Structure 1
Amino acid sequence: MAIEARIRELDARHHRLDDMIDEEVKHPSSDSLRLSSLKKEKLKLKDEIQALKRKH
């Protein structure tokens, strides 16, 4: 059960990052470093989620 809760938590963070990335892209003066950082963090979360799902 703890793994499922962790997956849900990571999935929620992943969706929040997705929303943040969408908002950043909408701005004409978006910060490319911030955007890159958000995308890297999102990818790390995705990898962690997939690893947990494989264990589960």
Structure 2
Amino acid sequence: MIASDFIDRLLYVQAKRRPANRREEDAVMKLSRMARRRAEGLAMNVRGCQP
């Protein structure tokens, strides 16, 4: 799925770039978690639409 590839790339870029502090790291984690959940939901919708 293209969405998961995008998220893997996003997480890889985030892993390479070290956050400045704890709070930013938490924000990054929350964002990536939201993005992953959203992409999984989109993937499920796409799969559900196809017979």
Q: What TM-score do you get using the length of structure 1 for normalisation?
A: 0.56
1:14–1:42 CA contact under 8 A, matched in 2: yes
* Structure 2 letter corresponding to 1:48: L
Structure 1 stretches of at least 4 aligned residues deviating more than 6 Å after TM superposition = none
What is the aligned counterpart of 1:11 among 4, 8, 33? 4
Residue aligning to 1:4: none
In 2: Cα distance, 1:51 partner to 1:14 partner: 17
- Going from structure 1 to structure 2, the CA distance change for 1:18 and 1:53 (only over 3 Å counts) comes to farther
1:18–1:42 CA contact under 8 A, matched in 2: no
Root mean square deviation of aligned Cα: 2.6
Residue aligning to 1:3: none
2:3–2:43 CA contact under 8 A, matched in 1: yes
Q: What TM-score do you get using the length of structure 2 for normalisation?
A: 0.61
In 1: Cα distance, 2:37 partner to 2:10 partner: 10
